Amino acid sequence: METVGFNRSHLRISGLEMRILIADDHGLVRDTLAAYLKNAGEKDVHLASTLQEALDIGQAEGPFDLLLLDYNMPGMLGLTGLEQAIDAGVAKGVAILSGNAPPNVAQDAIEQGAIGYLPKTMTAQSLVNAVRFMAAGETYVPVSHLAGQVDDNPLAQQLSRREAEVLNGLCRGLANKEIARELNLQEVTIKLHVRTLCRKLDAKNRTHAAMIAKEAGLF
């Protein structure tokens, strides 16, 4: 499927506004995340402060397109809460939010059925892009939180860390401008990295490079 130039920041599900439920016991974090999304045009955002409250809201007003669960909030018990939320069926996709989870949590969460993992250190625009990406049914994990998986892949040994980050963006269908914003780089720098990636991977273009990476199991 051709994904070059596809701007996920303008994505809507079947032409409708997304329904998002954010569960975090820190009021400031919860409200800030909601504000990011509302400022980006996502008006149907609901809030909860515990896992049980999230499940209750989900049962009463769901299913939501996406449920974001704080890894450390009351009721979660690590990833046990993730499994409970998935089984409850209150959202089409469930993702983990965390500011200080152990390095293995991102990969473990994906293996247990999460649709993504979002560090609380993400910029506003990166968060919005990631949420819309997941709400469309795709999996999102920052490449930095899959370091072990990436570093162990033979293909990754050909790439620098920055090249791997750019390639991750290509695999997620992001435009150069979006990758640049996410990595806090100039767009011209991203273009240079894409050119280098195509050469190293013997790819015809950015789409081909992403296909090679996915087929190799890199992302």
What pLDDT, on the 0 to 100 scale, is given for residue 164? 83
What pLDDT, on the 0 to 100 scale, is given for residue 90? 95
**Long-range CB contacts (< 8 A, 24+ apart) of 108-116?**
108/79, 109/79, 109/82, 110/139, 110/141, 112/79, 112/82, 112/83, 112/86, 113/82, 113/83, 113/86, 114/82, 114/86, 115/66, 115/139, 115/140, 116/140, 116/141
What pLDDT, on the 0 to 100 scale, is given for residue 10? 35
What pLDDT, on the 0 to 100 scale, is given for residue 23? 95
pLDDT above 50 for 8: no
Lowest-pLDDT range of 26-30, 87-91, 126-130, 195-199 = 126-130
In the DSSP assignment, the letter for residue 139 is: -
What pLDDT, on the 0 to 100 scale, is given for residue 121? 80
Could you read off the pLDDT of 70-128 as tens digits, one per residue? 998 999 998 999 999 999 999 999 999 987 777 678 888 988 999 999 988 877 877 88
Mean pLDDT score of the chain: 82
What pLDDT, on the 0 to 100 scale, is given for residue 12? 42
What pLDDT, on the 0 to 100 scale, is given for residue 16? 52
Lowest-pLDDT range of 110-119, 170-179, 209-218 = 209-218
pLDDT above 70 for 217: yes
Average pLDDT, stretch 23-49?
A: 90
Domains detected in the chain: 14-141 (3.40.50.2300), 146-215 (1.10.10.10)
What pLDDT, on the 0 to 100 scale, is given for residue 35? 92
Q: Which residues, in sequence order, are bridge partners of residue 70?
A: 97
pLDDT above 80 for 143: no
Q: Which residue has the higher pLDDT, 7 or 42?
A: 42
What pLDDT, on the 0 to 100 scale, is given for residue 151? 52
